[in-house]
Each structure stands twice: as C-alpha cells, then as structure tokens.
Structure 1
C-alpha cells in the first residue's frame, strides 16, 4: 500500500468517526443540544481536524447516513460485469449495495430530525445527491456510449428520487430488518425496489 492510499484511508476513517459522533449526539440531544466542540471531544480529534472535513455539525451528522464503506466491493463487482448488462440492472445492484438497512435507517432518523431542525435538510439532500451522482457516473462509464445523452442522468434521478418518499414516511414501506408484525399494511423495501425497477424496465 503506497503512502497516498494510506493517507486516503486515514482521512476517510477520521471523517467517518466525526460523522458518527455528530450523528449520535444529534439523536441523543437534538441539533440544538450540542456544539462542534462536543463532536470533536467524543471522536477524539481537534476542531481544526473537524474543519478539514465538515463545515458545520449539521453536515457532519448528515454524512453519517450516506458514508459508503463498501467502495472496494463495488469496484470488484464492476470489474466482473458483463458489458451487455442493461443500465437498470446495474443501478438495481448499486442501490442494493449502497442503501443497506443501516443507511436507510439512519437516513429516516435524520429526515425525522430535520422536521424539527430544518437546517439539516439541505445536507441530507446533498448526501443523497452525491450517491445519485456516483451511481450516474458508474452507469455512464458502463454504458460505453450506447445510449442517448442524458439517459443515465434520467435513470439515476428517477430511482434516487423514488427513495425520498420512503425516508419521509410518505410511502408505507418496511425498512430492511423490520418485522411485518410492526406494520402489516406495509410492503417490504425489496418489494418496493423490485416494483420500481419493473416500471423502469417495462414502462409505466
């Protein structure tokens, strides 16, 4: 492992630790109940280190829900892909890998918090947008110029836009790991995902 790779891993680990500390404090105390100094003390870093990663406590708290740990797993999966795989199928698997039960649960908690603390909302949306852009760039790279310009943007936008109603509770969808006994009327997340991609593949 070269020095640049090691530096990147350390930087990522520091950002994750700060984000996790801010997220935990937000749940424990609410956004008005802590300051950046509390975050750095809990994570074991300095205010200067915090400033190297985040502009404010809201950005750090929101980052905890969208930090994606499995980048190497995705890269390995991409290298083994058949070049003929359709973009919706690529995106389906990317969604499965990105939006784990932990990510979705944290995002839903943050969306719930943002109703009381609106300052959180732009950072949550920004985090989701980063996931969307990452997926769109992967789709574009794997499309090899076979599709019209804008197609991958439209596809990624439609899919990630469909996630928002799950997070704000507009749609009655069980999170991964939740029991149907908790909400017998709800559909499972996997069923929702399969239905959404069925529309994308076959038309509305």
Structure 2
C-alpha cells in the first residue's frame, strides 16, 4: 500500500521505558551476566550488581554496589542459582564506581584483545576469546589485562583458585593441567593444579 493525500492519518504512541530485563546464565551455585547501559539504574531485582577492581595482574575483586548503576558503567550481575533474569529499574544512581576496571560496549563489536566474562572448567572469570568472535551489545569486558585470564573473587566469597606459586608451599611439586596431564612449564595466564589447588600462572 502506498501513501497518498487520501490515506488515513496514523498515530504513534511513545511509551517511556521504566526497566530493562537482562537474562542470567547459571553456572554452579549462582547465575551471572554482565551489563553496560547508556542510562542509569536505580534498583536491581533478581541479582546483585558488582563492579570489578583489579588486584595484581590476575585477580579481579567483585565489589557489590547498592546505590544503583550509573550510566555507562560496566557491571557483573550475580543472582541465585537458576535465576532466569535480572530486572533493572531505570532511575537515579548514587553508587561510587571509582576504580571500576570494567568497560563495556553499547553496540556489538569485534573482539580484539579484551577479556570477556565466561565459564571455563566450571570456573567463572574473564577470559580471552577466539579471534573473529564478537562482543554483544550492552556487555561489559576488561581491557589492558596482561594475562589471558582473570580470576574473579566476590567480596565475602572464598575462591577455589589459589596462587600457590607465590606461597611457601612446595613450589617444586608437579604441575598438572585441568585434564590431569603433567606439564613441565606453566604458561602465564593459564589454569593449572599444584599441591591439589588450582592456580593461574603468573
């Protein structure tokens, strides 16, 4: 049908958005997602929002923020196991997000050398992607990381990954990869097992 001077008038209704739903993915005993929005969020239901602060080259400390999410702020969303979604209510945010290491993108972008949130060997963290992949719109990621993986430690949680190479434990003990094969030399940023503990080589 074409438009002409005899066509009936059309009416458009613009409805203001009040919230945004973000799908969560379950891994272990919790559900996760990342988010990066152009507008501020006053409240989060179904999950807790965290910013990330780097601790050394291989660790990202996830710190909860309770005063909402400022616009253009990368966050990690963590909910209970099998929680399907988080509902983000748009509104004013007052959280202090200084020193947040998480960046983000509002549109889909080509992957270069960022670390993106994911799960490998049942461990949640930030990992490198395969060249040619894309980072989805409104997702958070890390840039400027020296390692190929960053272990993620939430405030109040005990991580199963220990940097045993820096401990006084037997650092000459055999090292194995996560499939159980012994390796002669750990590659920086890789995940390994030594003395019964998982660690990221530094």
Calculate the TM-score normalised by the size of structure 1: 0.23
Calculate the TM-score normalised by the size of structure 2: 0.24
More helix by share: 1
Rg (Cα) greater in structure: 2
